[in-house]
């Protein structure tokens, strides 16, 4: 996940403790239903470990439950991803699904994010804010990033959908969008495939970058995975692009019990002439004026798939399937 810088955090938390529900009516929907809110949603500091943690059997079970619910919500949204629906309509559906499963939508009020889900349309790579003005059309690519909190653990998954209207897409348009979608899917799977006890976290960025290079697309730099548990985001930072400066976690070895997300955002190929060799193979992120949504510097279409994974004694298990 692209991490925003947060300044004067303690002061902001103190202010929000006094005015929280007045300015965040969406949160009260869940409180009124007896759903537990995460600490950050009520103006309290979230407890985040300093280093990647080894989850207990109980914690893993909670993460499996949370991951399963996140995936169910994404699956139940799929029939509604049709021309004419707005991304605010999708957020409304996410709220309904969260109430159905008695879970809290983790993005809401995380670092003051204003919505219950990230809906990133076409050129928006991540952190798209639902809007009534974003009405889906045939041929659009929509990434829906669903994270939920059960009260014990967060579950995090993302899928990009190709908006279809039978017969409305030219073969060329369909092939172009499908190519990017398939490359993004393979990139996520390539990252998962190298996870195992003793493997270094840097192996993930290498596998993803190689897969995307062979697919003639580009990894969006600066967008990576993260540790997860009863906290939303924590160590390790899981880089997805070999052109990024390696994080301190890159050379750590994976251990059984580590749980983290793999979520590469993939951009369409750059158009020549290229200013340099790196630009040909990597897309640079730019934060939009809303302070959240991220596009590429050349404003091309993007796709993203995300899974939460557990390193096991023998390999890896996906918790969001």
The residue among 15 and 93 whose pLDDT is bigger is 93
Closest CA to 82 of 171, 168, 165: 165
Please, what is the angle between helix 25-32 and helix 9-23, to 10°? 70
Q: Look up the CATH number of the domain holding residue 127.
A: 3.90.230.10
The pLDDT assigned to 166 comes to 66
Count of domains observed in the chain: 1
Q: Are 52 and 302 in contact (CB under 8 A)?
A: no
2 occurs within a structural domain = no
pLDDT in tens, 43-96: 899 999 999 999 999 999 999 999 999 999 999 999 999 999 999 999 999 999
User: What pLDDT does residue 10 have?
Assistant: 32
Instruction: With a cut of 90, say whether residue 276 has pLDDT above it.
Output: no
Is 166 contained in some domain?
yes
Does residue 299 lie within any of the structural domains? Answer: yes
Q: Which residues constitute the domain of residue 202?
A: 9-318
Q: DSSP string covering 255-266, please?
A: -TT-EEEE--EE
Whether residue 1 is contained in a domain is answered as no
| Residue 172 exposed, middle or buried by CB count within 10 Å (0-12, 13-18, 19+) | exposed
Asked whether residue 293 is domain-assigned, the answer is yes
Percent composition of the chain: helix, strand, coil (DSSP 3-state, to 5): 35, 20, 45
Give per-residue pLDDT as tens, 163-217: 987 667 888 989 999 999 999 999 999 999 999 999 999 999 999 999 999 999 9
162 — pLDDT class (breaks 50, 70, 90): very high
pLDDT at 288: 95
**Which CA distances in Å does 159 have to 89, 201, 246, 264?**
17, 23, 26, 11
In a domain, 153, yes or no: yes
Torsion angle of the four alpha carbons 66, 67, 73, 76, in this order, in degrees rounded to the nearest 10: -130
26 in any annotated domain? yes
Question: Is 4 part of a structural domain of the chain?
Answer: no
DSSP at 86: B
Q: Which of 171-180, 235-244, 260-269, 277-286 has the lowest mean pLDDT?
A: 277-286
């Amino acid at each position: 996940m692209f991490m925003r810088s947060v300044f004067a955090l303690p002061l902001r938390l103190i202010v929000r403790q006094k005015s929280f529900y007045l300015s965040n009516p969406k949160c009260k929907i869940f409180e009124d239903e007896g759903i537990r809110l995460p600490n950050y949603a009520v103006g309290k500091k979230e407890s985040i470990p300093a280093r990647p943690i080894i989850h207990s059997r109980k914690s893993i079970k909670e993460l499996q439950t949370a991951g399963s619910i996140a995936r169910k919500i994404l699956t139940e949204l799929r029939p509604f991803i049709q021309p004419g629906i707005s991304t605010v309509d999708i957020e409304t559906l996410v709220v309904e699904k969260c109430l159905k499963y008695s879970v809290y939508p983790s993005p809401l009020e995380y670092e003051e994010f204003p919505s219950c889900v990230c809906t990133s349309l076409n050129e928006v790579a991540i952190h798209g804010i639902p809007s009534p003005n974003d009405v889906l059309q045939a041929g659009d690519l929509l990434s829906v990033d669903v994270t939920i909190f059960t009260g014990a653990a967060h579950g995090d998954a993302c899928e990009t959908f190709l908006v279809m209207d039978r017969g409305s897409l030219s073969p060329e348009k369909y092939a172009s969008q499908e190519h990017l979608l398939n490359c993004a899917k393979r990139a996520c799977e390539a990252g998962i495939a190298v996870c195992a006890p003793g493997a270094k976290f840097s192996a993930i960025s290498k596998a993803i970058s190689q897969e995307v290079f062979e697919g003639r697309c580009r990894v969006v730099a600066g967008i990576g995975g993260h540790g997860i548990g009863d906290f939303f985001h924590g160590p390790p930072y899981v880089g997805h692009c070999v052109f990024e400066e390696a994080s301190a976690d890159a050379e750590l070895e994976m251990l059984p019990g580590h749980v983290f997300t793999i979520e590469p955002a993939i951009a369409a190929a750059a158009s020549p002439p290229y200013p340099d060799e790196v630009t040909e193979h990597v897309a640079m992120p730019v934060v939009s004026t809303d302070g959240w949504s991220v596009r590429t510097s050349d404003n091309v279409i993007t796709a993203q798939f995300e899974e939460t994974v557990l390193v096991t004694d023998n390999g890896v298990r996906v918790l969001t399937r």
